[in-house]
Structures are given as structure tokens and as C-alpha cells.
Amino acid sequence: MLSEIGFEGLEVAPSRIWPNTWEKLSLRQVDAYRHEIEACGLSVVGLHSLFFDQPLLGMFKNSNVRAKSLDFLVHLSSVCRDLGGHTLIYGSGRKRGILDQKDALNIAISFVEEYVRKTEDHGTCLCFEPLGKKDTDFINSVYDAKAIVTQINHPALKIQIDAKALVENNEVSSDVFEDCANQLVHYHANEPGLTELGQSGLVDHRFLGAQLRRIRYDRFVSVEQRMLEADDPMKNIYKSMSVLQRFYKY
């Protein structure tokens, strides 16, 4: 049904598919899900909601937990690869808490340097998702993400842009797109509250789509939206697709 209305790919939240996303997740399960998606005329874009089912893990916890978090993320990269996906979007679940910004940045750089070393043959790409301040206290600006990507300078780490976060962080600007054009590999079209596209009136999708065209962005635009009507889940997806086709398709 999704392919019939124009969708080409699916961004997967692992914990919404498998009850155990780590030790008990087999290659057979991953392969079966990939074939199921491809049989529907879609391909896997990548993974999102990476740590949703792992609340005890985190990049800014103690060294033992950080090592386990790295192992889990490397595992998810292999899952993404085996699904035929490319991007892993690291969004929420990265609060630095009492750590100051400088210490948190040093930890993050060390963490990601080890991650890209271990996954460079996977053909996948990790992206820190810049989010609003109510969602995280580390990497709010696109430029925060860009600074880390530039310093590490590795093809397994790039930039993702989130439409609602641009609004929340006052970064709705042509300069933002221009400055990260060569490092941008993924884009979320969404709304505050993850409602259907265009519903809030706060996100100017016409402008944002125009910026993507201007920088010749040629990768996936992913609709990030929660289920709004359980009795008719496709109703709001149809509405979002009409906005997607109107402002982002080219």
C-alpha cells in the first residue's frame, strides 16, 4: 500500500519490529524482514529510534556502559547493512546531564572514532540528529553535528536534518542547508508532536523543500510521523504524502 501511493523506502525502528534487538536477534529474522519489505516494493532506508528499548545504555554513562553502548550501536550497524539500509539516525537518548559541554564533546568524539573504525566496512552511515532542547541537551544545532562530522572526517559519519528541530532551534535558513550540503545524507520531514505534515502551521515545508532542491540533495526525505488514528492509520499518511509530493518531490 505504501509503494502504491508513492513511498519508495522505509526507515525502521528496530524495537517496533523485534522484541529483542540484540542478543536474540538472528540473521534469519533480519533477512526475513528485508524480504518482506522488498516484496512490498520498498527498500530499507536505514534505522531510527536506536536506543528506544535500551534505556540503560548511553554514550554519557560510565565507561562500562559506554562500551556496551558502542557494542550495541555496532551491532545495529550490521543489522542496517543486512537490511540493505544506509543511515543510522542517533536522536534521543544522548543526554549529557551534569557533564559540561566540552567534556561531553570529547567523550562523543572518542566514542564515534571507535564506532567508525569498527563499522567502516559495513557501508553504513551514523548521523547525530540535531534536536530541540526539550529532547536533548547535546547537539541541538545542525552546526553542532557538523563540527563533529568535520573533525572526525570519515564517510561513516555524516549529517541529518530534522524539519521540526530546525524550527525549534531557530535554524530555518538557507545558510544551514548551504553549509552542510556536502555532508547531508538524510532528512526528516516532520512536525512538532509528529503529527501529519502541514498540520501545525509551524513548519514551512515549501521553503525547506526548496532548499533541498537548491543544494541538489538527492537522497531520501523520510516522513517521521506517529500513528494518529489506530482505526485508520493510513488516513493521515495519505495527507502527509500529498504534502511530501507537493513540496519535496523533484
**Nearest to residue 70, comparing CAs of 86, 54, 92, 83?**
54
Cα(204)–Cα(58) distance, integer angstroms: 33
Those residues with Cβ within 8 angstroms of residue 19's Cβ, 6 or more apart along the chain or in another chain: none
Q: Which residue has the cell 524480504?
A: 35
Segment 113-124 shows an average pLDDT of 98
**For residue range 73-109, what is the model confidence (pLDDT) as tens digits?**
999 999 999 999 999 999 977 889 899 999 999 999 9
pLDDT confidence of residue 229: 80
**For residue range 156-189, what is the model confidence (pLDDT) as tens digits?**
999 999 999 999 999 999 999 999 999 999 999 9
Cα(158)–Cα(148) distance, integer angstroms: 9
- Bridge partners of 44, per DSSP, are 10
Segment 11-38 shows an average pLDDT of 97
Q: Letter for the amino acid at 225?
A: Q
Give me the percent of the chain exceeding a pLDDT of 90. Answer: 90
Q: Is the pTM higher than 0.85?
A: yes
Domains and CATH numbers, the chain: 3-247 (3.20.20.150)
pLDDT confidence of residue 94: 84
